Chains A and B, each alone.
Chain A
């Protein structure tokens, strides 16, 4: 009985230590992964695409303003 208990205790300790060591290793691997992904990905460019999107948004806004202005003038002229 006591022997069994001490065995269970050892398993508990080794198990917890192994879980922590393994997941810590994975933690480092994830750091590495992030760096690898970061060095390679800018080619397909998250920044340019974002800039493009903001450009688009700007043009959209301008276009909307132009259309609104046009509609306003049209309505005013044709009343």
Chain B
């Protein structure tokens, strides 16, 4: 009889808590979203699976000795994984459209208002009992508005590791929801005439300009905002490898094999943070709500800034491209293109939207650097 009891106690059934079961449900939901709905499957699939593994009772995945624990410590605690991803993103990014129309940089800046407004919102949420966000927590939550996964994970791992799971899940889910969140806001703030404005063709950008650009960005960052150099530096390295044209092998590795390998581990490590004690709180609900607000404000301020620019510009500007200022490359630019096509069947805004889109990546990395400097 005793043997039976020992055996029973070593099964998962006996040790299950309802919280763990719920978290496994959350993991399963993420798997469903990834596989069935194709929401950011590259990340949500490993995150969802990681969440299931992390909540298996008695298996100890997330305790010292467990694999998820080590993956987390090696990759996210140190900040290495998000930075490697950022290098890969840099190697995939073509700054051509931005260099051809540098003014769109301002749109990328305006959209970052989503981040800073949310910081304020998170602190204001403390009025409601049950919420106790510190300034660091608020900054880590706010960066969801940057619509940039690696930046969000990097900042959260520096400022508020216990919220990392919820922040990463919110960031990637909302990035997948960009085609649903953005269009109503874009349509609300623009008229049909504005949406059908045609823009002038972009000029061809020379190779030398493209090579010098990442170096110039790095130079300015190290002078004025050293706290942003981890993100911006890795990004520029990736981009330089791409544009230099002499290390094609490295560039290809950074944007394919390396980023894929790191993505698997990054997803698992984020999943390991989806434990019941850290995720099943009111704060998670608050984070999810704030994330949506951050996205919406970012989109709106980008569009409004584009309207302002259009008023003073000699060349026509379609205000829709402002919405692409929240990074989420290239999804946000595609959404702009689609909404533009709805208004004018033959108006292709994709390349024009890529400018503010990549400016948004730089903008959110800069915003992350500012938050680290001010709050970190």
Partners in one complex: yes
Q: Which residues of A contact B (CB under 8 A)?
A: 1, 4-5, 7-9, 11-12, 14-16, 18-20, 22-27, 29-31, 33-34, 36-38, 40-41, 46
Bound-state CA distance A36–B206 (Å) is 11
* Residue pair A25, B119 in contact (C-beta under 8 Å): no
* Residue pair A1, B127 in contact (C-beta under 8 Å): yes
B117 neighbours in A (Cβ, 8 Å) = 12
Interface residues of chain B: helix, strand, loop or mixed (majority): helix
* Residue pair A33, B213 in contact (C-beta under 8 Å): yes
Contacting residue for A30 out of B99, B113, B115, B116, CB 8 A: B99
B364 to A: closest C-beta gap in Å: 9
List 16 A-B residue pairs with CB atoms under 8 Å apart, sorted by A's residue number: A4-B135, A8-B119, A11-B371, A12-B116, A12-B117, A12-B120, A15-B115, A15-B371, A19-B367, A20-B106, A23-B359, A30-B213, A33-B99, A33-B212, A37-B212, A41-B206
* Residue pair B208, A40 in contact (C-beta under 8 Å): yes
* Residue pair B212, A22 in contact (C-beta under 8 Å): no
Known: A4-B126, A5-B123. A27 touches B105 (CB 8 A): yes
Chain B contact residue count (CB 8 A cutoff) = 41
* Residue pair B138, A8 in contact (C-beta under 8 Å): yes
Bound-state CA distance A30–B116 (Å) is 26
* Residue pair A30, B105 in contact (C-beta under 8 Å): yes
Identity of the chain A residue whose Cβ is nearest the Cβ of B221 in the assembled complex: A22
A12 neighbours in B (Cβ, 8 Å) = 116-117, 119-120
Interface residues of chain A: helix, strand, loop or mixed (majority): helix
B166 to A: closest C-beta gap in Å: 20
A38 neighbours in B (Cβ, 8 Å) = 206
The B203-228 residues at the A interface (CB cut-off 8 A) are: 206, 208-209, 212-213, 216-217, 220, 224-225
* Residue pair A22, B208 in contact (C-beta under 8 Å): no
Bound-state CA distance A20–B362 (Å) is 12
A18 neighbours in B (Cβ, 8 Å) = 225, 366, 370
A36 neighbours in B (Cβ, 8 Å) = 212
B113 neighbours in A (Cβ, 8 Å) = 16
Bound-state CA distance A15–B114 (Å) is 11
A40 neighbours in B (Cβ, 8 Å) = 208
* Residue pair B209, A34 in contact (C-beta under 8 Å): yes
* Residue pair B208, A41 in contact (C-beta under 8 Å): yes
* Residue pair B119, A26 in contact (C-beta under 8 Å): no
* Residue pair A33, B209 in contact (C-beta under 8 Å): yes
* Residue pair A14, B212 in contact (C-beta under 8 Å): no
- Determine whether B103 belongs to the interface, using a CB cutoff of 8 Å to chain A: yes
B213 neighbours in A (Cβ, 8 Å) = 30, 33
B133 to A: closest C-beta gap in Å: 9
B220 neighbours in A (Cβ, 8 Å) = 22, 25-26, 29
* Residue pair A23, B109 in contact (C-beta under 8 Å): yes
A33 neighbours in B (Cβ, 8 Å) = 99, 209, 212-213, 216
A62 to B: closest C-beta gap in Å: 28
B106 neighbours in A (Cβ, 8 Å) = 20, 23-24, 27
Bound-state CA distance A36–B208 (Å) is 9
* Residue pair A26, B217 in contact (C-beta under 8 Å): yes
Known: A4-B135, A5-B124, A37-B208. A19 touches B216 (CB 8 A): no
Bound-state CA distance A5–B133 (Å) is 12
